[in-house]
């Protein structure tokens, strides 16, 4: 009896000793007192998962209390929960072809459609698609939502957002092609921003950006924000949304001078219910108010951040940070 008790006690001590200590990274730069409204004092970014090749497209699924994200080169979607940690969720996630290929072939942006189905930007297949399976029983079977425009295949759909009216908007840079802009399989003449109407019709909305990337609607759906991840024009662009399309395009903010020497670019972004913008940017995550004023940053990350997403109550921000996944608790 004494020996068994000692074994149990020893096991308990051992388990306690193996619990990993939280790992934190970066720091918050408070550039304006307005930041205090949305990020509490002492907030720190915690590494909750590691070991990705290049993480992208994070999505918080409130119903299942799980975080999903793409590991683009591995053609895999990962899942994280507080209880289970990091697990494989879906593979393949972006390339279902039979010919072996390299590069960014997996899924990129992930989102839920108005009915709660998983929608994926499938880089390798060069299409927007819906997973034909329940969220709690994923399988690599997909229904194409948009695969071409006027008979030409897309380059590699990158990020997407649904409008309040249920129409799908997405960006199409060349990053998923093995040789990007010089790839012999490239069919598009422009790097476009597109809309998929409810009847399935695909409409080209923007053809003037060199590397359209992140995309998000402001509350109300009357304005759209699109990032351009071109080092020569690292800008955020804002557009007015009308029934006919997008109008009055102008620069929301530019990182051309401020981002010099820092790793990363304007990339994925999310906008909360109050219109505050959290965006991947040189050096980490930049935070803007609705007027385009830079009010804060998450800086000092060891690698570029690619995208972010909010928890259901918007009190937590999850960030894809190259090989790491970060959790930043904004408010208690």
How many C-beta atoms lie closer than 10 Å to residue 60's C-beta? 21
- Catalogue the E-assigned strands of 229-306: 235-241, 246-254, 269-271, 277-281, 284-288, 294-299
Instruction: Report the Cα 264 to chain-centroid distance in Å.
Output: 14
DSSP state of 174: S
Residue 96 DSSP label: -
Any binding-site annotation on 213?
yes
Measured CA to CA, the distance from residue 1 to residue 119 in angstroms comes to 57
Quote the CA–CA distance of 273 and 100 in Å, as a whole number.
Answer: 43
Start-to-end C-alpha separation, the chain? 46
Q: Give the catalytic positions in this structure.
A: 267
Query: Annotation-wise, does 240 bind a ligand?
Result: no
267 annotated as belonging to a binding site for a ligand: yes
CA separation for the pair 237, 9 (Å, rounded): 60
Q: Is 136 annotated as a binding residue?
A: no
Q: Which residues are annotated as a binding site?
A: 56, 158, 213, 267
Binding site per annotation, positions for substrate: 158
- Residues annotated as binding site for a divalent metal cation? 56, 213, 267
């Amino acid at each position: 009896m004494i020996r068994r008790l000692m074994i149990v006690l020893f096991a308990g001590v051992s388990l306690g000793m193996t619990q990993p200590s939280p790992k934190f990274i970066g720091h918050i730069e408070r550039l304006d007192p307005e930041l205090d409204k949305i990020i509490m004092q002492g907030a720190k970014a915690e590494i909750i998962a590691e070991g990705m090749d290049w993480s992208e497209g994070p999505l918080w699924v409130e119903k299942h209390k799980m975080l999903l994200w793409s590991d683009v080169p591995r053609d895999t979607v990962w899942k994280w929960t507080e209880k289970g940690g990091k697990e494989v969720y879906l593979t393949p996630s972006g390339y279902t072809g039979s010919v072996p290929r390299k590069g960014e072939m997996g899924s990129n942006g992930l989102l839920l459609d108005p009915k709660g189905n998983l929608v994926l930007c499938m880089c390798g297949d060069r299409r927007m698609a819906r997973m034909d399976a329940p969220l709690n029983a994923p399988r690599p079977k997909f229904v194409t939502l948009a695969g071409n425009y006027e008979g030409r295949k897309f380059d590699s759909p990158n990020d997407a957002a649904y409008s309040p009216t249920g129409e799908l908007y997405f960006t199409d840079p060349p990053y998923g092609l093995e040789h990007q802009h010089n790839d012999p399989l490239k069919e598009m003449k422009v790097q476009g921003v597109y809309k998929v109407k409810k009847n399935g019709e695909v409409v080209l909305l923007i053809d003037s950006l060199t590397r359209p990337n992140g995309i998000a609607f402001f509350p109300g759906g009357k304005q759209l924000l699109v990032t351009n991840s071109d080092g020569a024009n690292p800008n955020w662009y804002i557009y007015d949304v009308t029934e006919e399309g997008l109008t009055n395009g102008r620069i929301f903010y530019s990182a051309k001078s401020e981002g010099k020497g820092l790793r990363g670019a304007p990339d994925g972004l999310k906008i909360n219910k109050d219109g505050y913008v959290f965006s991947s940017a040189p050096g980490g995550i930049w935070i803007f108010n609705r007027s385009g004023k830079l009010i804060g940053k998450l800086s000092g990350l060891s690698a570029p951040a690619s995208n972010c997403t909010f928890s259901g109550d918007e009190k937590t921000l999850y960030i894809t940070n190259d090989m790491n996944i970060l959790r930043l608790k904004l408010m208690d």
